[in-house]
Amino acid sequence: MHKDPNPAAAPSPGVSGAAAGALDMDAFWMPFTASRQFRTAPRLLAKAKDMHYWTPDGRQVLDAVAGLWCVNAGHSRPKIVRAIAEQAEEMDFAPPFNMAHPKSFELATKLVALAPEGLDKVFYTNSGSEAVDTALKMAIAYHRARGEGQRTRLIGRERGYHGVNFGGISVGGIAGNRKSFGTMVGGVDHLRHTHDLKKNAFSRGLPEHGAELADDLERIVALHDASTIAAVIVEPVAGSTGVLLPPKGYLERLRAICDKHGILLIFDEVITGFGRLGTPFAADYFKVTPDLMTVAKGITNGCVPMGAVFAKRAIHDVFMQGPEHVVEFPHGYTYSAHPLACAAALGTLETYADDGLLTRGAKMAVPFEHAVHSLAESPHVIDTRNIGLVGAIELESIAGAPGKRAFDIFRACFERGVLIRTTGDIIALSPPLIVEESHIDQAISTIADVLKTAA
């Protein structure tokens, strides 16, 4: 690892001192963390700029995952930092129910201009999980408002990740995120996932085989009857479960089947939104427009929590009936359209536009693809795959210890100054969209080195 090149901007002594051993780690119950293991060898971050983090003791770490798929413009970008600081000075909070502040409208107008054609309305949340549960409620309420109140079923997909709230884990398809939590939301079914290494291993870009897996929706329709189904939700590219790409033609087919049966199609673009695939949204990449689209993460460059649901105008308009003094959609959060989040999002959109980041991934996808697939011959690797600036390296699991091999590699890479993300035995890469070839080379060569000696 390298030393911080700019000691004047290094973390405060207080942070370093704490990291040196004085930190009391008892009270904080950490999310999605092997927390007992963590406490034996804490990995702390104290500072970030552009493509890098620094640990409290000043070691530089290349961020190969945009924080957690969210810091698309790179860290601590000046326009975003300034927007947040100025907003905090000017107005800290404004109640979002029956009141509003100008930036919430300004941002919505800009978001809609960026979104795929027809997604003309924006509903704000504070996270991807909230966006997902909002979209699911919107879908069911939409059908009810149209007089089809029996359309309440929700269809997700095996291995799907839609956050951690009850709606999201119910339509989600990651068993480990569901099994501890008892009764899920009722009336949910799941499409088969599309991951098939026998047919599609080492695909560059979209896999050739598996468009027909979309027909699984017809099986579910036949079982439950279309008249009971409100919506289908999928990630256009499944991220959290380990980067599963849709087979060529799959999403188009899913769209057609939804249309045939009057079922709403929800794209969960929490990861794919805001340039990750080299287009503003995955809907643009695949030229398939959903009826509802959830986003979060990149909407504020990860700087202030925010999520949103985009809806087709026609869906929104169905709600606009009844007495005018009555709330049309009884849903929302204290922090919906939070002023700091709106300011951060406006600064983020400006930064994306300044640097052409929402399409830069298309250009960088070329060296990135080459680099990811250069790991195909490394020990333990059973698949490499990529799309835009998302890459995955799937490893053979150690018998009886699934996930251990990848987690050990994650730790070894961090020690060597590269932050990657692993899920099960899959390494996922999703660098900030400002990434240069030298960063890609560093990340890949570090992983290659670690794989050489990995158990």
Output 63 or 235, the one with its CB closest to ligand PXG: 235
Query: CA 407 to CA 307: how far, in whole Å?
Result: 29
Output 220 or 427, the one with its CB closest to ligand PXG: 427
Query: CA 153 to CA 125: how far, in whole Å?
Result: 23
- β-bridge mates for residue 435, sequence order: none
Query: CA 130 to CA 111: how far, in whole Å?
Result: 18
Does the protein bind ligand PXG through residue 128 (CB under 6 A)?
A: yes
Of 50, 67, 70, the closest CA to residue 297 belongs to: 70
Burial (0-12, 13-18, 19+ Cβ within 10 Å), 429: buried
Output 128 or 432, the one with its CB closest to ligand PXG: 128
Minimal distance in Å, beta carbon 244 to ligand PXG? 11
3-state class (DSSP) for residue 184? coil
Output 271 or 444, the one with its CB closest to ligand PXG: 271
Minimal distance in Å, beta carbon 271 to ligand PXG? 4
Give 374-394 as a DSSP string.
TTTTSTTEEEEEEETTEEEEE
Of 127, 194, 300, 378, the one binding ligand PXG by CB under 6 A: 127
With contact defined as beta carbons under 8 Å apart, do 264 and 231 qualify?
A: yes
Minimal distance in Å, beta carbon 322 to ligand PXG? 32
Of 45, 48, 68, 201, the one binding ligand PXG by CB under 6 A: 68
Query: CA 42 to CA 35: how far, in whole Å?
Result: 9
Angle in degrees, 0-180, between the axes of helices 437-453 and 357-373, rounded to the nearest 10: 30
> Considering just the CA atoms, what is the radius of gyration of the chain in Å?
22
249-278 residues in contact with ligand PXG (CB under 6 A) are 268, 270-271
Minimal distance in Å, beta carbon 231 to ligand PXG? 15
Output 268 or 369, the one with its CB closest to ligand PXG: 268
> What are the distances in angstroms from CA 25 to CA 30, 244, 283?
10, 35, 42
Minimal distance in Å, beta carbon 335 to ligand PXG? 13
Output 206 or 306, the one with its CB closest to ligand PXG: 306
Of 177, 240, 386, 446, the one binding ligand PXG by CB under 6 A: 240
Supply 279's token pair.
């287009």
Of 365, 431, 436, the closest CA to residue 63 belongs to: 431
> Which x/- pattern, by CB under 6 A, does the window 292-321 give for ligand PXG?
----x-------------------------
325-364 residues in contact with ligand PXG (CB under 6 A) are none
135-194 residues in contact with ligand PXG (CB under 6 A) are 161-163
Output 235 or 284, the one with its CB closest to ligand PXG: 235
Output 189 or 268, the one with its CB closest to ligand PXG: 268
With contact defined as beta carbons under 8 Å apart, do 335 and 308 qualify?
A: no
Minimal distance in Å, beta carbon 430 to ligand PXG? 8
Query: CA 194 to CA 207: how far, in whole Å?
Result: 10
Does the protein bind ligand PXG through residue 63 (CB under 6 A)?
A: no
Supply 246's token pair.
């849709």
> CB-hemisphere CA count at 13 Å for 145?
18
Segment contacting ligand PXG by CB under 6 A, of 127-135, 209-217, 278-286, 410-418: 127-135
Residue number closest to ligand PXG, CB atom = 128
Torsional class of 375: left (φ above 0), alpha (ψ -120 to 50), beta (otherwise) = alpha
Supply 74's token pair.
């790179």
With contact defined as beta carbons under 8 Å apart, do 223 and 216 qualify?
A: no
Of 55, 301, 423, 446, the one binding ligand PXG by CB under 6 A: 423
Output 163 or 417, the one with its CB closest to ligand PXG: 163
Output 87 or 127, the one with its CB closest to ligand PXG: 127
Segment contacting ligand PXG by CB under 6 A, of 84-92, 125-133, 176-184, 310-318: 125-133
Q: Measured on CA atoms in the order 279, 283, 284, 287, is the torsion positive or negative?
A: positive
Minimal distance in Å, beta carbon 175 to ligand PXG? 16
Output 11 or 239, the one with its CB closest to ligand PXG: 239
Minimal distance in Å, beta carbon 296 to ligand PXG? 4
Output 214 or 306, the one with its CB closest to ligand PXG: 306
Of 308, 351, 361, the closest CA to residue 333 belongs to: 308
The footprint of ligand PXG on this chain (CB under 6 A) covers a number of residues equal to 18
Q: Measured on CA atoms in the order 5, 23, 416, 383, is the torsion positive or negative?
A: negative
| Beta-carbon contacts of residue 198 (< 8 Å; ≥ 6 apart) | none
> Which x/- pattern, by CB under 6 A, does the window 187-226 give for ligand PXG?
----------------------------------------
* Contacts with ligand PXG, residue ranges (CB under 6 A): 68-69, 127-129, 132, 161-163, 235, 239-240, 268, 270-271, 296, 421, 423
